[in-house]
Amino acid sequence: MKASVSIPHFSNPLGSRMPDENKHGLVRLASRHELTLIEDDISGDIGFDGIRPRSPHSFTADMNRNPVIYCSSFSKTMSQGLRIGWMVLPERYFQRAEYLK
| 8/18 Cα distance (integer angstroms) | 5
CA distances from 55 to 30, 95, 97, 99 (A): 15, 24, 21, 26
Domain 3-100 belongs to what architecture? 3-Layer(aba) Sandwich (3.40)
Query: Which contiguous run of DSSP H or E holds residue 85?
Result: strand 85-88
Local confidence pLDDT in tens for the 101 residues of the chain:
799 999 998 888 888 889 999 999 999 999 999 999 999 988 888 878 888 889 999 998 877 788 899 999 877 677 777 788 889 988 888 999 899 88
Domain ranges of the chain: 3-100
